[in-house]
Amino acid sequence: MVFLPMISVFAVYAIDNGKDYLRDRLLICVTGAVFALGLFGAIWSQGAQLRIFGVAGLSFSLSFDGFRVIYCCIAGFLWLITALASEEYFSRTKNSNNRYRICSMLTFGAALGVFFAADFFTTLMFFEMMSFTSYAMVAHEESIQAMRAGETYLAIAVMGGLAMLMGLLLIWQRTGTLMYSELYEICSAMLDKSGLYLPGTLLLIGFGAKAGMFPLHVWLPRAYVAAPAPASALLTGVLSKTGVFGVAIVSCWLFAGDISWGAALLVPATITMFLGAVLGVFSNNIKRTLACSSISQIGFVLTGIAMQCLLGNHNALAVRGTLLHMLNHSLIKLVLFLSVGVIYMNQRDLSLDGIRGFGRGKPLFFFAFLMGALGICGFPLWNGYISKTLLHESLIEAIHLYSGHAMEVPLRLVEGVFVFTCGLTIAYMLKLFVVLFVQRGIKDAEKKRYIGLRSAIALTISAALLPILGAFTAIPDALADWGQGFFHGHAPEHAVHYFIWENLRSTLVTTLIGVCIYVFFVRGVLLKRGKNGTTCYVDLLPNWLDIENSFYRPLLKGCVTIVEHIARFAAAAPDALIQLALRTIVEHVTRFLAAIPDALIQLVLRTVLSSSKKPYVPRKFLTRHIWVTERQQDSNGSETIVAGGFSMALLLVGVGLCVVVVFLFYQAISQIG
């Protein structure tokens, strides 16, 4: 099933008779077929595990459970809806959509492979495949902005992949397996997991980079803004969730119940949650605002994963909140990014000043955007309210559990940031809503058909799901019951009452915070009146807050410069330093070898061949016929041995070898005798 979209896309492109609409319909049918097969096949094989092959301890295996089934369906649904809407979107752009289609389907297959992977090796293979195929989706427009965004995206993906590779090699070296099920059993039996923190951190870097976790989030706003709107919906709805999937594997399978790991993960999760919302408030581009919102919502999900580690066996609410917020965020951002695609098709502009009043007099667009806005803000009777309530309740539960403990104060701080971030979410979505439906445009849009039939169907279906999942709470509860086994969670001890006064009061507080931020900060600080009397939104964020331009790119450039200088030095060194060093070494070795026979000969001359009345050997014969004993005088008049000591040494070595051979021959004859 994982390879079906990869195979089918080539079959689709093989039928090329010059009719784009035929390929459009075939792609939609193929995506729908994969969606249906994934749904029924995964349900039928729930709990099964398929090992395709294994070599030297590494295996390529797939697994099926409730959570994987849910995200197979989510991925299929998102690809089906974006396929419906993409034909009209790309028909109004200058670039061909053929490349986008084939890369989109390959990415679809790779994403399914990530979700169904049963071990780290399989996950890494599909993860890297997905990174390279999705790069073409990010850089599809081929503008300077798109190419730069694709460059950043690919760089983060490659570095994250290398970190994952190092992490899984360390895991394999320390546990002997990469299978998730086996790792869970091994790690659960460990009393001291300190030896796993380094590989776990490396894996967290790799998966967190794809999820958009701080400080590796820099690619996300640029990529979402540069990519076509359908691609942005897929990036935030599915691809970022593959990163969250990996973080959940590391945290809930390797470090299940580990308080230290949960506390460490809570730090970047909280920063990601808060930072994304702040950037969304300051942004004056609707697509960038939604991209920053995705960073913030991923922070909510990562907070839920951290709470699972901190709560241990009491993690039921955190598990259900994490799972449902992943699902809800995918569906909500599908609606919002498709709405942005409708704006871009008509206005060719995404700045807040350029799209003011676009939604006036457009009831379908009003309905779709309002459903997405109410869902992401977490208002009662919409799906976002269910998952945010569960996440907030898990924080309250952790505060009570760690009452009097050192963790109580940090948890109360995180809970405050959680509530304030929800208020920031309401503030930036209220800003977008007012811009689109309340303010009048500088130049009203022409009265024309602004959306096609299939785009309207896709937008209506996806928007209608949000209040259904929020009003009928039995549906999300059933999904949570089905998928919680992946996180090693369990059903809560009692039924969750979502609409009691305590939860509604929390929503009321966040709404008041959001309205105050909008009235006093957005309209009072970010909205300025120009010289001609018109108002415009200003960008007050300083450039040094751009981590990519102020830190990552200078750091990378510095590393490249250092490596370049080392390479140049190494290239020039053989002609200078290395040759000098080798020459010196060889000279000293030669002198040493030459000194050995000279010393031996000098010793012989001063003993055996020394001048005496009765020499032991016939010196004249030796000096006449054997040059070794010939003497010379140096400039000081002292006697020296003849030059050419190295050849003398070879002669002595040969003599010694002959002596050894004779001795061995004598020993052999003696044994025979």
Higher-pLDDT residue of 422 and 355 is 422
Q: Quick check: is 163 in a domain?
A: no
pLDDT beyond 50 at 12: no
Contact residues for 601 (Cβ-Cβ < 8 A; gap 6+) = 628, 629, 641, 648
pLDDT beyond 90 at 190: no
Which pLDDT belongs to residue 517?
93
Q: Quick check: is 658 in a domain?
A: yes
- Whether residues 561 and 600 share a domain: the answer is no
Which pLDDT belongs to residue 641?
41
Of 519, 539, 559, at which residue does a domain stop? 539
Which pLDDT belongs to residue 627?
42
Higher-pLDDT residue of 559 and 73 is 73
Higher-pLDDT residue of 564 and 260 is 260
Q: Quick check: is 387 in a domain?
A: yes
Residue 10 binned pLDDT confidence (cut-offs 50, 70, 90):
very low
DSSP letter for each residue of 172-194: HHHHS--BHHHHHHHHHT-S--G
- Give the up-direction half-sphere exposure of residue 270: CA atoms within 13 A in the CB hemisphere: 21
pLDDT beyond 90 at 56: no
- Whether residues 424 and 515 share a domain: the answer is yes
- Count up the domains in the chain and report the number: 3
Q: Alpha helix locations (H) across 573-644?
A: 577-606, 619-625
Lowest mean pLDDT among 182-186, 476-480, 531-535: 531-535
Which pLDDT belongs to residue 515?
93
Instruction: Tell me what the mean pLDDT of segment 449-470 comes to.
Output: 88
Instruction: Name the packing angle between helices 144-175 and 197-211 (round to 10°).
Output: 160
- Whether residues 469 and 563 share a domain: the answer is no
Angle, CA of 303, 305 and 311, to the nearest 5°: 95
- Whether residues 556 and 660 share a domain: the answer is no
CB atoms near residue 129 (< 10 Å):
18
Q: Quick check: is 563 in a domain?
A: yes
- Whether residues 623 and 530 share a domain: the answer is no
- Whether residues 556 and 599 share a domain: the answer is no
Q: What's the chain's length in residues?
A: 673
- Whether residues 409 and 508 share a domain: the answer is yes
Q: Give the model confidence (pLDDT) of 340-378 as tens digits.
A: 988 888 888 888 888 888 888 889 999 999 999 999 998
> Cα–Cα distance between 421 and 620 in angstroms, integer?
106
Residues 89-113: b if buried by 16+ CB within 10 A, e if exposed: bbeeeeeebeebbbbbbbbbbbbbb
- Whether residues 290 and 262 share a domain: the answer is yes
Lowest mean pLDDT among 24-38, 242-256, 325-339, 387-401: 24-38
CB atoms near residue 205 (< 10 Å):
18
Q: Are 294 and 224 in contact (CB under 8 A)?
A: yes
> Cα–Cα distance between 643 and 622 in angstroms, integer?
17
> Cα–Cα distance between 332 and 607 in angstroms, integer?
101
**Closest by Cα among 382, 398, 392 to 420:** 392
Instruction: Label residue 369 exposed, middle or buried (CB < 10 Å: 0-12, 13-18, 19+).
Output: buried
What percent of the chain clears pLDDT 70, i.e. is strictly above it?
72
Lowest mean pLDDT among 32-46, 140-154, 200-214, 365-379: 32-46
- Whether residues 350 and 451 share a domain: the answer is yes
Instruction: Tell me what the mean pLDDT of segment 431-442 comes to.
Output: 84
* Residue corresponding to tokens 């060719």: 348
What percent of the chain clears pLDDT 90, i.e. is strictly above it?
19
Q: Give the model confidence (pLDDT) of 122-149 as tens digits.
A: 888 888 888 888 888 888 777 888 888 8
Instruction: Tell me what the mean pLDDT of segment 296-305 comes to.
Output: 92
Residue 639 binned pLDDT confidence (cut-offs 50, 70, 90):
very low
> Cα–Cα distance between 319 and 231 in angstroms, integer?
29
Mean residue pLDDT of the chain comes to: 78
Is pTM beyond 0.85? Reply is no
Q: Give the model confidence (pLDDT) of 68-104 as tens digits.
A: 888 888 888 888 888 888 877 777 665 556 778 888 8
DSSP letter for each residue of 276-309: HHHHHHH--BHHHHHHHHHHHHHHHHHHHHHHHH
Higher-pLDDT residue of 376 and 659 is 376
Of 522, 539, 556, at which residue does a domain stop? 539
- Whether residues 408 and 478 share a domain: the answer is yes
Strand 639-641 and strand 631-633: pairing? antiparallel
Q: Are 394 and 318 in contact (CB under 8 A)?
A: yes
> Cα–Cα distance between 266 and 269 in angstroms, integer?
5
Which pLDDT belongs to residue 5?
47
Instruction: Tell me what the mean pLDDT of segment 639-646 comes to.
Output: 43
Instruction: Name the packing angle between helices 240-249 and 120-138 (round to 10°).
Output: 160
Domain range for 642 is 578-672
Which pLDDT belongs to residue 330?
92
- Whether residues 497 and 617 share a domain: the answer is no
Instruction: Tell me what the mean pLDDT of segment 231-242 comes to.
Output: 88
> Cα–Cα distance between 173 and 656 in angstroms, integer?
51
pLDDT beyond 80 at 631: no
Q: Quick check: is 368 in a domain?
A: yes
pLDDT beyond 70 at 628: no
> Cα–Cα distance between 311 and 402 in angstroms, integer?
9
Q: Quick check: is 16 in a domain?
A: no
Highest mean pLDDT among 2-16, 247-261, 519-533, 535-549: 247-261
- Whether residues 582 and 465 share a domain: the answer is no
Of 487, 514, 539, at which residue does a domain stop? 539
> Cα–Cα distance between 249 and 243 in angstroms, integer?
10
Check the CA dihedral 460-462-467-471 and report its sign: positive
3 state DSSP class of 217: coil
Lowest mean pLDDT among 9-18, 165-174, 244-253, 476-485: 9-18
- Give the up-direction half-sphere exposure of residue 393: CA atoms within 13 A in the CB hemisphere: 26
Tokens of 386: 């269910």
Instruction: Label residue 547 exposed, middle or buried (CB < 10 Å: 0-12, 13-18, 19+).
Output: middle
Residue 654 binned pLDDT confidence (cut-offs 50, 70, 90):
low
Instruction: Tell me what the mean pLDDT of segment 372-395 comes to.
Output: 91
Determine the longest span between alpha carbons in the chain, in angstroms: 132
Q: Give the model confidence (pLDDT) of 570-586 as tens digits.
A: 666 555 666 666 667 77
Q: Quick check: is 268 in a domain?
A: yes
Q: What share of the chain is helix, strand, coil (3-state, %, to 5)?
A: 75, 5, 20
Q: Which amino acid is at 592?
A: F
State how far the alpha carbon of 560 is from the alpha carbons of 557, 566, 666, 672, in Å: 5, 10, 68, 72
DSSP letter for each residue of 374-412: HHHHT-TTSHHHHHHHHHHHHHHHHHHHTTTSTTHHHHH
Which pLDDT belongs to residue 642?
41
Q: Give the helix/strand (H/E) hosting 341.
A: helix 316-347
Residue 385 binned pLDDT confidence (cut-offs 50, 70, 90):
very high
Q: Quick check: is 175 in a domain?
A: no
Lowest mean pLDDT among 53-57, 276-280, 545-549: 53-57
> Cα–Cα distance between 189 and 171 in angstroms, integer?
15
> Cα–Cα distance between 523 and 198 in angstroms, integer?
46
Which pLDDT belongs to residue 361?
84
- Cis bond before residue 215 (omega within 30° of 0): yes
Which pLDDT belongs to residue 575?
59
Which pLDDT belongs to residue 402?
85
